[in-house]
């Protein structure tokens, strides 16, 4: 099932507590919330349409649309859900494990509530464009049109938690000359989702032992030791996953069980006790955790990838940031690495051609690394000739331009591992990506789509 919320974040689901267990009757009570949220979804487009009509001078129609959407937002608040153009924020609310079984727990939406004033969002963005010093006549109108085309993620985003932090992040990039003001403004207009999705999302909690969270793209897990507790962020407004944890669990120390790169999004586990941290650390060291990823890669891989292939390039460090594949004479000094890859769909990106740039051939792939080397997935896919879309460090920059994609399309979709409280049973935690919604026309559907991977890694390998 696909899942996407108004902020461009995945829909969270706790798939299973055991291999055979079912979620239970408590989830049935969420169905009413889900159906009520459909109403919010149906009227969620009204505010975006209002913005466009308002820009066109049709003020009365804009007021009517805004009034309709306001009613939808009220329904969404009553149901504890956030409205968007494509669906509710949560198809099923996150589950909190208790001795009596799983119970539904709605996430806190924050003081700015649902949608948080879309007119203000575009006004704040326009002010940022001016502050960067980039002349963009008609830029806001184009931004609104592109946002409607891509599903209205920006109009439904949180101004305080998503848009303002992203603007601060991009302001820093402009100040550091990573992109010129004109280049940054152009990329924001062409890809509005560049300004969304900065908030970590609570996925699941097991008592006071373990917490699962979705890390957004473009966010560090924590500051380096020399910066912890200080104000030495890369940019003043920078936040980390550890900031989210301390705000959510005041007075507790975050004990990270797995790491994700700055540009990678997806499931992370944080232990709330030393005992659970040691337990999870041993599982990762013994390779008893099955790690699942989804990625968009450039090009169309060979048909053999439809059933699944193993990439086994040995990796070495370089003098810079990226890693490289070791030559035959360097194998003894390199790290062995194993990555299973399977093509799920072949299509084009972006959803529609933009600014005279042609659509690119891309493929949606499932990735399951057996080893856990730094940059393993990124380096392996690049070495195989199909770098991850948006991974500038490994040749994945679309159209050959820096920052051509608003993000690197690599997402940690799930983790499966043995339960420490119920011997012999496994726990699977997932946060599905919404990458498929980014794709345009399919080229050639994989013959193996939906089939069981051949030779793929199973749990505990």
Q: How far apart are CA 407 and CA 196, in angstroms?
A: 11
For residue 32, count other CB atoms closer than 10 A to its CB.
Answer: 10
392 is catalytic: no
Instruction: List CB contacts of 44: < 8 A, sequence separation 6 or more.
Output: 6, 69, 72, 83, 84, 85, 152, 156
What are residue 353's phi and psi, to 5 degrees?
-60, 145
Phi, psi of 217 (to 5 degrees): -70, 150
- Residue of 5, 118, 162, 261 marked active site: 261
12-16 and 426-431 strand pairing: antiparallel
User: Is residue 279 within a helix (H) or strand (E), and if so which, with residue range?
Assistant: helix 274-285
Inter-helix orientation angle 118-132/164-175, to 10°: 10
Helices 118-132 and 181-190: crossing angle in degrees, nearest 10, is 160
Q: Scan for tokens 């709330």, then name that residue.
A: 272
CA diameter of the chain = 73
Phi, psi for 15 (deg, rounded to 5): -65, -50
- What is the C-alpha to C-alpha distance for residues 93 and 40, in angstroms, rounded to an integer? 16
Give the bridge partners for 388, in sequence order.
297
d(CA 123, CA 136): 14
Residues with Cβ < 8 Å from 452, sequence gap 6 or more? Answer: none
CA–CA distance, 444 with 203 (Å, rounded to integer): 34
Cα–Cα distance between 455 and 452 in angstroms, integer?
Answer: 9
Residue 18 in tokens:
């055991």
Residues annotated as part of the active site: 261
């Amino acid at each position: 099932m696909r899942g996407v919320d108004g902020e461009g974040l995945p829909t969270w689901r706790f798939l299973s507590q055991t291999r055979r267990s079912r979620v239970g009757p408590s989830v049935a009570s969420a169905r009413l919330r889900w159906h009520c949220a459909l109403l919010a979804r149906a009227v969620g487009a009204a505010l975006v349409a209002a913005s466009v009509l308002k820009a066109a001078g049709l003020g009365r129609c804009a007021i009517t649309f805004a009034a309709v959407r306001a009613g939808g937002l009220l329904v969404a608040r009553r149901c504890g859900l956030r409205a968007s153009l494509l669906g509710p924020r949560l198809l099923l609310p996150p589950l909190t494990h208790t001795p009596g079984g799983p119970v539904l727990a709605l996430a806190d939406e924050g003081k700015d509530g649902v949608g948080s004033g879309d007119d203000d969002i575009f006004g704040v963005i326009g002010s940022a464009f001016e502050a960067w010093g980039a002349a963009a006549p008609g830029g806001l109108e184009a931004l609104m049109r592109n946002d409607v085309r891509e599903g209205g993620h920006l109009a439904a985003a949180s101004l305080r938690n998503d848009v303002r932090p992203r603007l601060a992040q991009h302001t820093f990039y402009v100040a550091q000359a990573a992109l010129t003001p004109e280049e940054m403004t152009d990329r924001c207009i062409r890809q509005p989702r560049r300004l969304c999705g900065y908030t970590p999302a609570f996925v699941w909690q097991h008592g006071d032992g373990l917490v699962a969270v979705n890390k957004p793209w473009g966010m560090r897990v924590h500051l380096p030791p020399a910066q912890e507790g200080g104000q030495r962020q890369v940019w003043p407004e920078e936040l980390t996953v550890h900031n989210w944890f301390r705000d959510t669990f005041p007075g507790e120390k975050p004990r990270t069980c797995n790491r994700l790169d700055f540009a990678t999004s997806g499931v992370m586990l944080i232990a709330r006790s030393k005992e659970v941290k040691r337990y999870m650390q041993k599982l990762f060291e013994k390779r008893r955790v099955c790690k699942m990823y989804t990625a968009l890669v450039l090009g169309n891989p060979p048909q053999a990838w439809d059933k699944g292939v193993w990439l086994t390039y040995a990796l070495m460090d370089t003098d810079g940031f990226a890693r490289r594949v070791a030559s035959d004479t360097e194998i003894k000094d390199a790290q062995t690495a194993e990555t299973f890859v399977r093509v799920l769909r072949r299509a084009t990106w972006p959803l529609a051609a933009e600014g005279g740039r042609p659509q690119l051939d891309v493929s949606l792939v499932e990735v399951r690394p057996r080893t856990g080397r730094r940059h393993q997935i990124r380096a392996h896919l690049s070495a195989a000739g199909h770098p991850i879309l948006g991974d500038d460090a490994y040749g994945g920059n679309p159209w050959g331009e820096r920052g051509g994609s608003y993000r690197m399309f690599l997402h940690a979709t799930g983790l499966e591992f043995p339960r420490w409280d119920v011997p012999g049973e496994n726990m699977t935690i997932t946060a599905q990506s919404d990458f498929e919604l980014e794709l345009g026309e399919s080229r050639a559907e994989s013959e193996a789509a939906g089939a069981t991977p051949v030779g793929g890694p199973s749990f505990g390998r």
